[in-house]
Amino acid sequence: MAGIYQGRQVPWWEPVVFAAMAGGMGWGIRGQYGHETGAMIAGLLVSLVLVLVFCPARKPLALARAVAWGAVGMGIGGTMTYGQTVGLTHDAAFIGNWAALRWGMLGLAIKGGIWIGFCGLFLGMGLGGVRYRWREMFGLMLALVGAFYIGQALLNSPFDPANKVLPRIYFSASWYWQPDAQALEPRPEYWGGLLLALVTALAYAGWWRKDGLALRLGLWGFLGGMIGFPGGQSLQAYHAWNRESFQQGLWAWLDPHMNWWNMMETTFGAVMGGTLGLGLWFNRSRINPAEDAPVPELPAAGEVALLAVHLPLLAAVEFLAVPAVDSVYDLGLIMAIIPMAGVAGGRWWPYAAIFPVTLLPIAGKTVNQLAYQEGAVSVGAGWLVYFALPMLVAIAAAAYFARQAPRARDGRNFLRASLLLSTWMYFLLNYAFFHFPWPWAQWTGRTPNGIIFTVCAAGLTVLAISKCPGKAKVTE
């Protein structure tokens, strides 16, 4: 069965398979970089795949806006803590405790749904035909921050671990599960605040702005995260609960080389990406990216000013310990305010968000890990190879596509080139982070994931090459 959008046949498996590849590789890479900015890799790759598959014939700026919003939206959920939630399902102290397993999986389902729900919502807002202005996005993001603090007060409070007082609904380490623990370090949770913020955004887009695609894709994203996070963790938990099953046959050789945490992340990403792809396929008739007026909303000086504010704050929160900055800008929703508004109103911002803004923290963390933490390369070589050169390529790509956009007939070439560049840029940076785990060399705990990411990168390359303008299937 095939759906038809703008005269082009799109079989259901195409967005599912390729978005799963993009999500699996992107989320698996996120595991090395963490938090909001690491999650943006998966949001970027999945959004590029889906926009390329479904609507490459529209104007590049509208498509770039949708991709950028999807990437930034994916980063919002990075505020949530989940390591101790995962621990409830596989830590040695909980092996055999089915109640802890169920509670941990429930927590992962809620947190995963919220995380991917934001990506689906904002990607849908870019593709659903409703034009959101920059002042509107700025106001919406401020409203979501307010909803976050209300939700946190309602669902994630009180939090006073010194007196063993924790929220009533709590998915991290607690004395309920370990009453005799002496060195327990409960972490503050934020899922309640983000849940209310997500519900607020879904209501605004779906009810107030009548954006059916944003509402539906947000819910599909929630479904993908709700299934994907506990689904991926099921692999890691099964391994922890049944270690004897991995001490015979092929597993006896392979298990010592398996990074089960990264396998969990890769599986989570593949499931959420495929689910977003299926959700967009079911709602393909609603895809209609809003075009722009001839005069940009934000003047060039305004775009530069927003970048001049955002980039130093982003660098500070990622690489410097500045309490005044961390206390504010380390919250995913606040970190997303300027990018969401800039992408909505600017002609340069969407391309900046896709290329240098997303890359900057990833390149910086690669240099920090390889040059400063491990000494695998010299400081000078690290800055040149893993930061300066990738950033120059990203800045050049953003400038080129922003200049070409007004003259481009459609966004196909932009999407193809962006997918190829982003796929291999992040793959190679992560491969260096993995210390180049060539499958023919001695295997390490990075080799299996390195092979999986190679297959995914090859698949995304095939997708980009196959979407040449002359190769599109059309029907009369």
The pLDDT of residue 471 is above 50:
no
What is the mean predicted confidence (pLDDT) over 66-77?
98
Residue 4 forms beta bridges with which residues?
Answer: 9
pLDDT for 430-458, tens place per residue? 999 999 999 999 999 999 999 999 999 99
**Host domain of residue 167:** 14-471
pTM of structure: 0.95
Residue type, 391: M
Let me know if residue 300 belongs to a domain.
Answer: yes
Tens digits of residue pLDDT in 111-131:
999 999 999 999 999 999 999
Average pLDDT over residues 365-381: 96
Q: What tens digit of pLDDT does each residue of 291-329 get? A: 765 556 889 999 999 999 999 999 999 999 898 899 899
Task: Look up residue 458 and give its two tokens.
Answer: 């090859």
Q: Is residue 203 part of a domain?
A: yes
Note the pLDDT of residue 30: 95
| pLDDT of 314 | 95
Asked whether residue 60 is assigned to any structural domain, the reply reads: yes
Q: What are the two backbone dihedrals, phi and then psi, of residue 358, each rounded to the nearest 5 degrees?
A: -70, -35
Residue 4 within any structural domain of the chain: no
* pLDDT on residue 473: 44
Kindly state whether residue 5 falls inside one of the protein's structural domains. Answer: no
Residue 1 placed within a domain: no
Counting residues of the chain whose pLDDT is more than 70, the rounded percentage is 96
Q: Cβ distance 371 to 382 under 8 Å?
A: yes
């671990």: which residue's tokens? 161
Phi, psi dihedral angles at 271 (to 5 degrees): -65, -45
Half-sphere exposure of 43 (CA within 13 A, CB side): 37
470 has pLDDT over 80 = no
Q: How confident is the model at residue 270 (pLDDT cuts 50, 70, 90)?
A: very high
pLDDT in tens, 119-166: 999 999 999 999 999 999 999 999 999 999 999 999 999 999 999 999
Q: Please report the pLDDT score of residue 142 as a whole number.
A: 98
Confidence of residue 476 (pLDDT cuts 50, 70, 90): very low
Contact assessment for residue 104 and residue 214, using Cβ atoms and an 8 Å cutoff = no
Residue 7 domain-assigned (yes or no)? no
Is position 9 within any domain?
no
Q: What is the mean pLDDT of the chain?
A: 94
- Per-residue pLDDT at 1: 36
* Sign of the torsion angle spanned by Cα atoms 50, 52, 56, 59: positive
**pLDDT in the model for residue 35:** 83
d(CA 260, CA 379): 31
The count of structural domains within the chain is: 1
pLDDT above 80 (res 5): no
Question: Quick one: pLDDT at residue 3?
Answer: 38
- pLDDT tens-digit readout, 201-259: 999 999 999 999 999 999 999 999 999 999 999 999 999 999 999 998 899 999 999 99
